[in-house]
């Protein structure tokens, strides 16, 4: 099947190993760790580091599957492309595409609202929850779209700056923790305290905390959607992705240790700014407004990367005939998927304007865990498909363990909140309706390609 139509220009290959590494790190760091540390503490008490460590392990297993597939099929569209090649089911491919897109747009829209809130705090403005906050979020999302349209080179350069800022924020937390503990402050004995919610077993609390912490580890999968804009993706992806995931995993565990050592878990779990409390407790003289600015730029990076991913996903799947071909249009000058950028930005506008995104972090993780389960199975199915070039190959046991662990964390056995399934069900129902419309349109189109999925 063709990777691109003959009448469309190709995407611009400008991403090298350094830019790709910062893309992976910046996408994983994002908003999750800045907001979720306290919520995980509510689940497991002082042992908040353990769910992050387990989430890192599950993410690492799935990353091996992604590496085998992206080096085998170095094209945009990621999980949706792999699902299509493995199962050849238009419905399943469409739903995977829709689930990944929803997770990206929900994360980006949440980040836009968080950006607006931090923007108000940094400037000492009271934006509240009304029109002013929404207007700032919409303006910010428009800026993200313009950077995305300008070109992948400009987008990844912006990502470099924003990743350095958000990484600096987490290193400040780790540094403050080390300095305070070295000075006799804090209490490391809390790290072994499993204070669980009333009536829950320790094991269930840990798995529920892991399911929640997993939201902070997602993001590495976005990078495979940039394969057609990466130089020599088959060679550089394995080393870069594994380095990025391991780096963020170490950072997350160190942040969790610093947080719970300096702030009691019950206090850490109250409010929406847990890491700000850590800095205040460990270094009272640190300029708190500076940390607010750092947090603002951290969430900005999440929005930029997720919107880049969503537009490239639509581009890739339009060229695979899963979506209407219009969504695969590339701008002749900027060489960016401009129709996909416009389409995903309009959806993000709708989410910002109408949706209450406070509870969608768990839903985003749920959708991606379902997608990761499919990807881990797809690796095994596609072992029979040979390609003419060498590629990374994961040991068979790894995708098996990845599929089992992801399916478990997505199931009710993990202690996941019922609301996650309710929201995910609504989103997937919308996806079913859109699939029916897309399938009907594809069937009505002239059959230009013998591989057209409508057949």
pLDDT one-digit tens code per residue, 70-89: 999 988 778 888 998 999 99
**136 or 321, which is more confident:** 136
Domain-located, residue 243: yes
Confidence of residue 5 (pLDDT cuts 50, 70, 90): very low
Q: What local confidence, expressed as pLDDT, does residue 449 receive?
A: 46
Calculate the dihedral angle through the C-alpha atoms of 169, 173, 175, 181, rounding to the nearest 10 degrees.
170
Contact 42, 183 (CB under 8 A): no
pLDDT digits (tens, 9 = 90+) for 314-325: 887 787 677 777
Domain-located, residue 449: no
* CA 176, 242, 17, 96 torsion-angle sign: negative
Average pLDDT of the chain to the nearest whole number = 83
Contact 278, 259 (CB under 8 A): yes
Task: Report how far residue 420's alpha carbon sits from residue 438's, in angstroms, rounded to the nearest whole number.
Answer: 27
CA angle 47, 49, 55 (to 5 degrees): 120
Confidence of residue 360 (pLDDT cuts 50, 70, 90): low
Least confident of 136-140, 261-265, 436-440: 436-440
Q: What SS3 class is residue 349?
A: helix
**Domain range enclosing 412:** 17-444
CATH of the domain at 263: 1.20.1740.10
pLDDT digits (tens, 9 = 90+) for 89-99: 989 988 998 88
Neighbour count for residue 437 (Cβ, 10 Å): 10
pLDDT digits (tens, 9 = 90+) for 257-288: 999 999 998 888 776 678 888 988 998 888 87
Domain-located, residue 11: no
Q: What local confidence, expressed as pLDDT, does residue 197 receive?
A: 66
Domain-located, residue 5: no
Q: What local confidence, expressed as pLDDT, does residue 126 receive?
A: 62
Domain-located, residue 312: yes
Domain-located, residue 12: no
Confidence of residue 160 (pLDDT cuts 50, 70, 90): confident
pLDDT digits (tens, 9 = 90+) for 192-240: 888 776 667 888 888 888 888 887 888 788 788 777 878 888 888 999 9
Q: What local confidence, expressed as pLDDT, does residue 450 receive?
A: 39
Confidence of residue 24 (pLDDT cuts 50, 70, 90): confident
pLDDT digits (tens, 9 = 90+) for 181-193: 998 888 898 898 8
**Any bridge partners for residue 194, and if so which?**
45
Helical (H) or strand (E) element with 164: helix 152-182
Q: What local confidence, expressed as pLDDT, does residue 128 receive?
A: 57
Q: What local confidence, expressed as pLDDT, does residue 451 receive?
A: 45
**126 or 413, which is more confident:** 413
Q: What local confidence, expressed as pLDDT, does residue 454 receive?
A: 39
Domain-located, residue 8: no
Domain-located, residue 413: yes
359 Cβ contact list (under 8 Å, min separation 6): 419, 423
Overall number of domains in the chain: 1
């Amino acid at each position: 099947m063709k990777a691109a139509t003959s009448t469309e220009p190709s995407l611009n290959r400008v991403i090298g190993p350094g830019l790709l590494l910062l893309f992976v790190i910046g996408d994983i760091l994002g908003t999750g760790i800045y907001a979720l540390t306290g919520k995980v503490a509510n689940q497991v008490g002082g042992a908040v580091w353990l769910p992050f460590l387990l989430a890192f392990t599950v993410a690492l297993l799935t990353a091996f599957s992604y590496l085998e597939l992206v080096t085998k099929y170095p094209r945009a569209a990621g999980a949706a492309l792999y699902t299509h090649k493995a199962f050849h089911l238009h419905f399943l491919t469409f739903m995977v595409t829709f689930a990944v897109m929803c997770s990206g747009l929900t994360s980006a829209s949440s980040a836009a609202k968080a950006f607006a809130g931090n923007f108000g705090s940094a400037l000492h403005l009271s934006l509240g929850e009304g029109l002013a906050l929404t207007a700032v979020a919409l303006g910010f999302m428009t800026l993200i779209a313009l950077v995305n349209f300008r070109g992948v080179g400009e987008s990844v350069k912006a990502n470099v700056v924003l990743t350095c800022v958000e990484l600096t924020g987490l290193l400040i937390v780790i540094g403050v923790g080390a300095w305070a503990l070295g000075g006799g402050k804090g209490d490391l004995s809390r790290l072994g305290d499993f204070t669980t919610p009333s009536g829950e077993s320790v094991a269930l609390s840990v798995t529920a905390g892991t399911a929640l912490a997993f939201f902070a580890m997602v993001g590495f999968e976005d990078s495979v959607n940039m394969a057609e804009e990466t130089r020599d993706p088959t060679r550089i992806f394995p080393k870069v992705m594994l380095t990025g995931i391991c780096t963020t995993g170490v950072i997350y565990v160190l942040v969790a240790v610093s947080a719970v050592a300096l702030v009691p878990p019950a206090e850490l779990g109250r409010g929406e700014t847990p890491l700000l409390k850590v800095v205040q407790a460990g270094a009272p003289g640190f300029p708190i407004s500076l940390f607010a600015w750092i947090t603002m730029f951290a969430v900005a990076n999440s929005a930029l990367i997720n919107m880049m991913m969503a537009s490239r996903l639509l581009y890739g799947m339009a060229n695979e005939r899963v979506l209407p071909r219009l969504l695969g249009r590339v701008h002749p000058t900027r060489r960016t998927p401009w129709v996909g950028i416009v389409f995903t930005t309009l959806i993000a506008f709708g989410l910002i304007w109408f949706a209450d995104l406070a509870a969608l972090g768990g839903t985003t993780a749920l959708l991606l865990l379902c997608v990761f389960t499919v990807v881990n199975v797809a690796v095994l199915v596609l072992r029979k498909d040979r390609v003419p070039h060498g590629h990374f190959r994961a040991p068979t046991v790894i995708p098996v363990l990845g599929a089992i662990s992801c399916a478990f964390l997505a199931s009710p056995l993990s202690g996941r909140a019922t609301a996650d399934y309710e929201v995910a069900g609504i989103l997937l129902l919308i996806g079913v309706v859109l699939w029916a419309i897309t399938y009907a349109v594809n069937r009505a189109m002239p059959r230009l390609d013998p591989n057209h999925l409508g057949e």
